[in-house]
Every structure is written in structure tokens, then in C-alpha cells.
Amino acid sequence: AAALLLMFPKTDEEANFIDLWSWVFFLGCLYGSYRKVNPILLIVLSALGGIFVYWLPAFAAQF
């Protein structure tokens, strides 16, 4: 899914979601795959990283 987002970054409204963190997660998973890291672990770590980077600051800003 990350690779598809990086190939086709525009939405219908021409908004671009891809930022530096997206590239960091993608390259981290690519490197982990190259080093033969468990794919499930890569998915879980990417999900936790996404929550930490995208959701947590928005949630904390509400308070």
C-alpha cells in the first residue's frame, strides 16, 4: 500500500499526502525486507510508527 501511495500521491482533490515520514516508513520497510525481517513485524512497526507520527500529535492538540 505504501508503494502505491508513493507512485500515485495525488487524491481526487489534488491533495498530496506523501511527506517525509511516508518515505521514512517506506524506506525502513524496504531495508527491513532486504535484511529478511519478519513481514508481520514490519507491518506492526509501521502501524505503530504511523500512529505515533500522525495520530498522536493531532490527538494531543485537542487538549
Mean pLDDT of 40-46: 91
Number of domains in the chain: 1
3-state secondary structure of 33: helix
Does the pLDDT of residue 9 top 60, yes or no?
Answer: no
Alpha-carbon Rg of the chain, whole angstroms? 13
Q: For the whole model, what pTM was predicted?
A: 0.63
Please provide the average confidence, as pLDDT, over all residues in the chain. Answer: 80
Q: Flag whether 13 is in a domain.
A: no
Full residue range of the structural domain in which residue 36 is found: 2-7+18-61
Position 30 in a domain:
yes
Residues facing residue 56 across a β-bridge: none
